Structure 1
Amino acid sequence: MPSINVQLFDGRPVEIKRELAQALTKEACRVLGCTPDAVDIVFTDVKRENWATAGVLWSDK
């Protein structure tokens, strides 16, 4: 069973997560040859102050 972990900045609406979950599930099934009920997706909301790129917090950008 594929398990997909997605980290996003905090604040994305549930509609966006729903759409992404559907798209990821569809593609995972296409590529892996599995059924949708075998795909798990976990969304983790991350505050910008807890994410850095190139040594700079996103909250500081």
Structure 2
Amino acid sequence: MPIISIRMAKGRSIEQKRKLVAEVTRAVSETLDLPPDIVSIQLHEFERENWATGGELHVDRFGPGFGKP
């Protein structure tokens, strides 16, 4: 059983999450030739101020709106 882990910043709607897991499930199922009902997906959401690259918080580097959907 494939277990897919997706990490993303908080802020997506429940409808966006539904679409995301449906599309990822479809892609994994088709690619690995497996039934969709055995594909498991975990969504891990983090606060945007907890995201950094190159030793600098994104909120400081790009502003508070960076990466918002």
Rg: which structure is higher? 2
- In structure 2, runs of 5+ residues without a counterpart are 63-69
Which consecutive segments of 4 or more residues in structure 1 shift more than 6 A?
none
Give per-residue Cα distances to partners, 1:4-53, cap 9 Å, x unaligned.
Answer: 11111111111111101000000000111111111011111111121112
Q: Distance in 2 between matches of 1:57 and 1:15?
A: 28
Please provide the CA RMSD for this pair: 1.0
Q: Which amino acid aligns with 2:17?
A: K
- Which residue is equivalent to 2:23? 23
Q: Which has the higher contact order (CA 8 A, sep 6+)?
A: 1
- Which residue is equivalent to 1:57? 57
Aligned length: 61
Give yes or no for contact 1:48–1:57 (8 Å, CA) kept in 2. no
Q: Distance in 1 between matches of 2:54 and 2:12?
A: 23
Q: Which moved more, 1:21-30 or 1:46-55?
A: 46-55
- Which residue is equivalent to 1:35? 35
TM normalised by structure 2 equals 0.80
TM normalised by structure 1 equals 0.90
